[in-house]
Amino acid sequence: MSGRPPARELPPPTINTKDGWHCLHAYFQAQPGSHPIDRERLLAALDPEREHAPKRLQTYAVTGHRADLGVMAMDPDPLRLDAVLQEIRAAAGLALKPSYSFVSISEVSEYVPSVEQFAERLRREGMGEDSPGFKARVAGYEKRLPAMNVQRLTPEIPDLPIHCFYPMNKIRDPHANWYTLPFSKRSELMAEHATSGIKFAGRVSQLITASTGFDDWEWGVTLWGRSPEDVKEIVYTMRFDAASANYAEFGPFYVGYVLPANDCLSHLRL
């Protein structure tokens, strides 16, 4: 006997995600009139209903000098996302100059509590197991959790007009290093952060995607808002949570207004 443990059978290699989806945010600066474009081909590339389109595809007009057109796409196959960029390049050429992109993957955060962890949180908050609301709240959470995790992994894009995206990190400052905190403390801080966000239900929809190993930042935050003020208010409010105030670092913000591709191109004079 060699004493070696039996070889573990590995799954076959693949570029496709197993549970969630690849996510791409791409931004372009428009240079109308100076370069020819194939408008029909460009519209086809940005059509979420076309054959072989990514599972999710959204376009939006971006304000500010850093970008004019924003595209968000999600799919299990990363090459299906990249194909959108290649078609944009082939159809628009120099008329749409890439200005920023962000690559990430959807996930269920380690800080999303299990049913048992949710029950334990209620106990820590002083709710006894014999209290009238304890079992109802635990049962309600158990019922909601599967659907919430599906939305985190394979999200439906909400029918809201404001699109806001920004990347973020948890900092590693010697005096405030997120990664040296015990999991219990990190989980407590993120629970407070989530409680702040719940107050905006119906006004703001949020998607967090993970970019560790895929981009320069650790997470991407996508917000869809019912109004511009809703986006401003949620970002301002949640910055006071300890998880953000003490441990968060934010990248550039890109705010856009959701439009069908044809309306986007017309807005950009393309």
List the beta bridge partners of residue 165. Answer: 222, 254
The answer to whether 220 and 167 are in contact (CB under 8 A) is yes
C-alpha to C-alpha distance for 88 and 268, rounded to whole angstroms: 15
Annotated active-site residue 166? The verdict is: yes
Tell me if 224 sits within 8 A of 157, measured CB to CB: yes
CA atoms in the 13 A half-sphere facing the CB of 100:
19
Structure tokens belonging to residue 113: 């509590």
User: Using CA atoms, how far apart are residues 246 and 175, in angstroms rounded to an integer?
Assistant: 10
- Looking from the CA of 130 toward its CB, the CA atoms found within 13 Å total 0
Nearest residue to 98 (alpha-carbon basis) of 37, 34, 28, 45: 28
Token pair, residue 161, equals 């007009």
Catalytic hit among 166, 236, 247, 254: 166
Kindly report the length of the chain: 270
Residues marked active site are found at 166
